[in-house]
Copies of this chain bind each other. A is one copy, B any other.
Amino acid sequence: MTHDMQGFFFPRTATGRSSLIPAPPWSYSGDLLTVEYRTDPARVAELLPAPLELAPEDPGAVALIWADWQSCSSSREELLDPVRSQYKECFVVVRCSFEGQTYSRCVYIWVDKDFAIARGIHQGYPKKLGSMWQTRPMAFPHASPQLAPGGAFGATLAAGDRRLADAVLTLTGPSDTNGFVNGHPMAHHRVYPDIAGHGDAYAELIESGGAEFEGGQAWQGDVELNLYDSPTEELSRLSVEEIIGGYYRQVGVVWNGGRTLARLSTD
């Protein structure tokens, strides 16, 4: 019925030009500041609807990741009007098991642009608006840490005019990894509540991952991490039992769709 309309996402029009986001592939260049820690696995299990299960190893591992992104569609036109290409985000990843495979799963995420929210709805990321800041490694050190031992990077997250998290990562040296929690394909739910109030009109479990990936030297470091309560958030419920590590890495990524793992009952 909408086949005569153009536009990947809403609004759909005769030309499709005003769609909030164009069709994938979507490309990203960004800086990632990752903090990994262990929480009570029971708190992770609460976020895994059946038949998802805890990952078999280190099931309480959590990654809290800040990302400072520049992004674009295949036209790359957003890069020349950068209010349309730059955004910041902070997201929380756990792991889970589905049919014997281990997946990563984003359980909370905040971004600061509407096009990022729309991409998240498509990908199954539960995006809200937030205010995120992370120290940048500028070219000159006058007001900047460097990507070198001793470089100290701060990162903060706020939403609803409350601070939700802040971290400081002090680099100690190069790292073979950028952490392990966010290293699997993502297993996300995509749901659309029924307009008449009877559960979901549509629900599925999907898998997706990067179509391309390139990364620079990863750095590791010492971490200070604080989580704060909010009446509308549950991040602090994933309380910090033990810091695993902290990492900094610059990356380039392309995302180009995923596949359905399971269509879900909407009763």
Contact = CB atoms under 8 A, between A and B. Distances in A.
A251 B140 CA distance: 6
A138 to B, nearest CB: 4
B139 A3 contact: no
A126 interface: yes
A69 B190 CA distance: 29
A162 B18 CA distance: 14
Interface in A198-244: 199-206, 208, 212, 214-216, 231-234
A168 interface: yes
Contact of A80 (B123, B135, B256): B135
Interface stretch (A56-64, A81-89, A176-184): A81-89
B1 A262 contact: yes
- Name the residue in A127, A163, A251 with the highest tally of chain B Cβ atoms < 10 Å from its Cβ: A163
Given A190-B195, A200-B2, A136 B257 contact: no
B18 A234 contact: yes
28 contacts: A1-B265, A11-B108, A11-B234, A12-B189, A18-B233, A23-B197, A29-B142, A29-B143, A70-B136, A72-B143, A80-B135, A80-B152, A81-B133, A81-B154, A82-B154, A84-B232, A85-B143, A86-B133, A86-B136, A121-B121, A139-B250, A140-B252, A143-B252, A158-B162, A163-B163, A196-B257, A196-B258, A197-B257
Given A11-B126, A70-B136, A156-B161, 20 more contacts: A1-B265, A10-B126, A17-B232, A20-B126, A20-B128, A70-B138, A71-B143, A79-B145, A82-B134, A82-B155, A82-B156, A83-B156, A113-B129, A121-B121, A123-B195, A124-B195, A139-B216, A142-B254, A195-B257, A201-B260
